[in-house]
């Protein structure tokens, strides 16, 4: 028996040695953790890759498109895909591939800018409604209900008659008519968050309501907003295509995908390529944004960590 065994009281258990700090690993920031989980979703990465590719195509459209959007090939009307015209030509001899490439600029610009307008309006009105409550909440929500009661396309067409049918007008129309659901989502998040302890602590410290609303509550309500905002970009692109199909979107010679589909609806039997390629671009773009939004939803969900 050693000396240590003699002095150690019976039943005593020695504490384990502290682990080395290096073995614990450095704590990852939230964005790194979200990106790590997002990368595991293969479909979301496919959607992100497609959107990045589409953004590059839009940025370098003059280098990629072999022809201008108004350039015509004499005597080549409604021709199918060929070596000179990969997507064929339209009714007046313009290259469909070039117009689809330039159309990426139109769709992405309308999608992102209109969604940005909707997010700003929805965030502001939803945050005010959910945080302050009372009569302010009642007034904002009743206005929202009135707009929701009007069919979306009827409202958009009515606004289009006032603002015109240019590309910038479509951005304004889709922006000021798309904030309704965002405002409701933000309001529901604020209603639950404003009763938590950290909000009461900030109030007790004397912070103003506006600071508490935007500095403390809003960062904790961003998860559903980010997901919905991502999906909204694809929804706006689809809405622009629908308005162009109805004749209230961008006008010629703007190479909008919806306008190209509208012009090709009478040539489905003898020139299906006029409809197939712009419609395919719309479907793939909207699907890519949906996949990204679905991946963000899973990556931002704390229950899936």
**Structural domain includes residue 41:** no
* pLDDT for the residue 117: 92
- SS3 state at 171: helix
What gap in Å lies between CA 53 and CA 73, rounded to an integer?
28
Residues 133-162 have a mean pLDDT of: 83
pLDDT digits (tens, 9 = 90+) for 239-295: 888 887 777 777 777 788 888 888 887 777 788 888 888 889 989 999 999 999 888
Q: What residues have CB less than 8 Å from 301, skipping those under 6 apart?
A: 223
**Structural domain includes residue 46:** no
**Structural domain includes residue 277:** yes
**Structural domain includes residue 16:** no
**Structural domain includes residue 72:** no
The rounded percent of the chain whose pLDDT value lies above 90 is: 11
What gap in Å lies between CA 258 and CA 255, rounded to an integer?
9
* pLDDT for the residue 10: 52
- SS3 state at 95: strand
Max mean pLDDT among 14-18, 122-126, 149-153, 262-266 falls in: 122-126
**Structural domain includes residue 252:** yes
Tokens 């308005």 correspond to 243
Specify the pTM.
0.80
* pLDDT for the residue 25: 44
* pLDDT for the residue 133: 81
What gap in Å lies between CA 233 and CA 288, rounded to an integer?
10
**Structural domain includes residue 159:** yes
pLDDT digits (tens, 9 = 90+) for 83-108: 887 888 887 888 888 889 998 988 88
What gap in Å lies between CA 189 and CA 82, rounded to an integer?
54
288 near 208, Cβ under 8 Å? no
**Structural domain includes residue 78:** no
Q: Bridge-partner residues for 89, per DSSP?
A: 95
> Positive or negative, the Cα torsion across 295, 299, 300, 301?
positive
Give the domain CATH number at 294: 1.10.3720.10
* pLDDT for the residue 305: 52
Q: Tell me the residue range of the domain where 242 lies.
A: 52-67+85-304
Max mean pLDDT among 7-16, 47-56, 150-159 falls in: 47-56
110 near 63, Cβ under 8 Å? no
Provide the domain count of the chain. 1
Residues 32-41 have a mean pLDDT of: 80
The number of beta carbons lying within 10 Å of the beta carbon of residue 109 is: 16
1 pLDDT exceeds 90?
no
Residues 228-241 have a mean pLDDT of: 86
Using a 10 angstrom Cβ sphere, with 0-12 exposed, 13-18 middle and 19 or more buried, the burial of residue 191 is: middle
Q: What residues have CB less than 8 Å from 53, skipping those under 6 apart?
A: none
């Amino acid at each position: 028996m050693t000396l240590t065994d003699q002095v150690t009281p019976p039943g005593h258990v020695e504490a384990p040695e502290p682990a080395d700090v290096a073995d614990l690993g450095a704590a990852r920031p939230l964005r790194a953790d979200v990106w790590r989980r997002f990368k595991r979703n293969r479909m979301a990465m496919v959607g992100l890759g497609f959107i990045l590719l589409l953004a590059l195509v839009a940025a370098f459209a003059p280098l990629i498109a072999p022809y201008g959007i108004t350039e015509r090939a004499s005597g080549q009307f409604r021709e199918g895909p060929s070596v000179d015209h990969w997507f064929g030509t339209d009714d007046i001899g313009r290259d469909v591939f070039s117009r689809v490439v330039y159309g990426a600029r139109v769709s992405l610009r309308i999608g992102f800018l209109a969604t940005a307008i909707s997010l700003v309006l929805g965030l502001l009105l939803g945050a005010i409604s959910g945080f302050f409550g009372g009569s302010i909440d009642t007034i904002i929500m009743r206005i929202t209900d009135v707009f929701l009661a009007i069919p979306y396309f009827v409202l958009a067409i009515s606004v289009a008659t006032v603002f015109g049918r240019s590309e910038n007008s479509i951005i304004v129309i889709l922006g000021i008519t798309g904030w309704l659901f965002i405002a409701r989502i933000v309001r529901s998040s604020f209603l639950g968050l404003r009763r938590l302890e950290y909000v009461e602590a900030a109030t007790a410290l004397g912070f103003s309501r506006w600071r508490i609303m935007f500095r403390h509550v809003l960062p904790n309500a961003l998860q559903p907003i980010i997901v919905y905002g991502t999906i909204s970009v694809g929804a706006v692109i689809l809405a622009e295509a629908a308005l162009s199909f109805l004749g209230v979107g961008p006008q010629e010679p703007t190479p909008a995908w919806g306008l190209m589909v509208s012009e090709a609806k009478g040539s489905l039997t003898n020139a299906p390529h006029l409809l197939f390629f712009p419609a395919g671009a719309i479907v793939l773009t909207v699907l890519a944004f949906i996949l990204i939004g679905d991946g963000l939803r899973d990556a931002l969900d704390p229950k899936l960590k």
